[in-house]
Structure 1
């Protein structure tokens, strides 16, 4: 009996030693255990794929994710500044530079999703470029051009623009005012996806179309630059910030191509206090990169009806497992 008791005590001691050793390892693997991230995401669905990738990576570190909460650009930057939300990965800079004063004292850009991979600007159907010799926004002051692009019979060319609250809506409004196009172009500011679907249908019916878009986006898969549509230019004028011209863009009406918008970086923005308390998240944000071509491919698949973003993000993580493992290991090391 005494031997049995001694054996039991020894086993218990060994078991306790194992648990005492294992506990720090579990904590190290899951530095976010017990912490909830209040995450935001953009209203444009082309940004949801990489948002979901980050969400799943956070969860692999033990964090719980509240959301992501979908909200407009100004609302997010106000929320992250006040700490009502912790972060999002849908910052577009320099397009969102106008919102920096709202958050830069209490939140910061951390890392990058994709750098210098996002073109944006205005496109028209190629047939109209050939028929009317369209080169820039100035051409929409010509009566015959306005008439050709007037799909609602209000005497103005119709432009699929951006909904209120988007950074591009502010920039497009600046262009309309700077080039005195208010009497020439009707900016459609309804839901972007629905407005673009209507424009695509009009194009397929043989009508001319003018629209703003960005890459990555399903629109340039549906309407291929160089085949169906062409980028047009924004005139260079004193006092108007048209951004550096893009060289070698064969799908533009001219080279170099003054697109009116700088090529954007897609960047995370996070609350400073949250980042200070969670070094694992800072390290992860610093290291993760998602090729813009992968975002483009998912956007195209989503437009074709595959809208299971969670499954698409999980598949991307599995495909890049070696790289993902390094990011997660570095994040865990930062938390020790």
Structure 2
């Protein structure tokens, strides 16, 4: 009887061991590779949020050895071009790195797996929603000159004030040329608060006091997730203007360049991890949802990892469409 029990116990143990081993193999095979898959954790809110989402889904859902590498656009693109690492840049603004993108895509080192933000990046001139509701005739950039007295410049009350981006950003030159192109330079002064944090503080102060303000801003961002703002309509974007050139003598009325954002992935990672590559191709979120998640993070002093987990817990209707059902189940269990 003892021998029989022992044989049964050994058989069960062997079966359990086989089941666990085969389960582990299947889990690893979902990734396609045991090699490290490195993800740039970019140093701005949306880029860090996307990076942590990928790390959780790839590690918990696909069983990948997915790691985060701190970085920014310059360091990430330089490393991808030279070494093919990191494997994933979760939020690459292509127009900011045209030379890099042309080179690595021509060499087939890197490709655009997908578009993390459905509408792309958004830049523009914004007014608070309460201003738009109180002044329904103020709809576009071409209407703005008629409303200069609504936005008086404290330093020069004869003109309105249009808040711009921080000095040194590419938008600084672009906005200066836009002001000339739309003939706003005769009715508005341009003013930069000096930093993105100071610009945020200026907008929040105006919002809390329900004061009129017109300002440059961009999305996805925490601020637009918290404070409803309306983008002034612009004419279509015109290709080939000199609006980005500080020496431009004939700027043209034009919208901001389209904010093309891609999930940049090394072709080596795609080849060795086809399952995760399909997920990265499917990954895309509406701009407003991203801004709302970043606003939640700001309100709760949450880390990018916390924000990613919160998104996965509260937006299953979005992310479960990116992955097979078994991968989704493992992600949920991992949370």
- Hey, what's the Cα distance between the residues in 1 that align with 2:22 and 2:11? 18
Shift of 1:219: 2.7
Q: Distance in 2 between matches of 1:292 and 1:109?
A: 19
Counterpart residue number, 2:63: 62
TM-score under structure 1 length normalisation: 0.67
Q: Report the Cα distance in structure 2 between the residues aligned to 1:288 and 1:149, rounded to whole angstroms.
A: 44
**Where do 1:297-312 residues align within 5 Å?**
297-312=292-307
Query: How far 1:294 moved relative to its partner?
Result: 3.0
Q: How does 1:9-158 map to 2 (within 5 A)?
A: 12=10, 15-16=13-14, 18-20=16-18, 22-31=20-29, 32=31, 34-60=34-60, 61-71=62-72, 73-82=73-82, 83-92=84-93, 99-101=100-102, 103-104=104-105, 105=107, 106-116=109-119, 118-124=121-127, 126=131, 135-136=140-141, 145=148, 150=153, 157=161
Could you tell me how far apart the structure 1 residues matched to 2:26 and 2:178 are?
55
> Could you tell me how far apart the structure 2 residues matched to 1:113 and 1:180 are?
34
2:163 maps to: 159
Any idea what SS the aligned residue of 2:54 has? helix
* CA distance, structure 2, for counterparts of residue 65 and residue 270 of structure 1: 13
Q: Report the Cα distance in structure 2 between the residues aligned to 1:329 and 1:134, rounded to whole angstroms.
A: 46
Structure 1's 62 and 146: CA in aligned 2 closer, same or farther, altered over 3 A?
Answer: farther
What is the SS of the residue equivalent to 1:37?
strand
TM-score by length of 2: 0.67
Instruction: Give the deviation of 1:79 after TM superposition.
Output: 2.3
Distance 1:124 1:170 in 2: 22
Instruction: State the alpha-carbon separation in 1 of the partners of residues 236 and 289 from structure 2.
Output: 32
Give the unaligned 5+ runs of structure 1: 243-256
Distance of 1:9 and 1:200 partners within structure 2: 73
Classify the secondary structure of the residue corresponding to 2:217: strand
Shift of 1:87: 0.9
- Cα pair 1:88 1:270 within 8 Å, conserved: yes
Q: CA RMSD in A?
A: 4.6
Q: What is the aligned partner in structure 1 of residue 310 from structure 2?
A: 315
Query: Aligned partners of 1:234 and 1:108: how far apart in 2?
Result: 31
The number of aligned residues is 304
Contact 2:234–2:254 (8 Å) recurs in 1 = yes
Q: Deviations over 1:22-59 (max 9, x none)?
A: 42331221345743332113333134333322211011
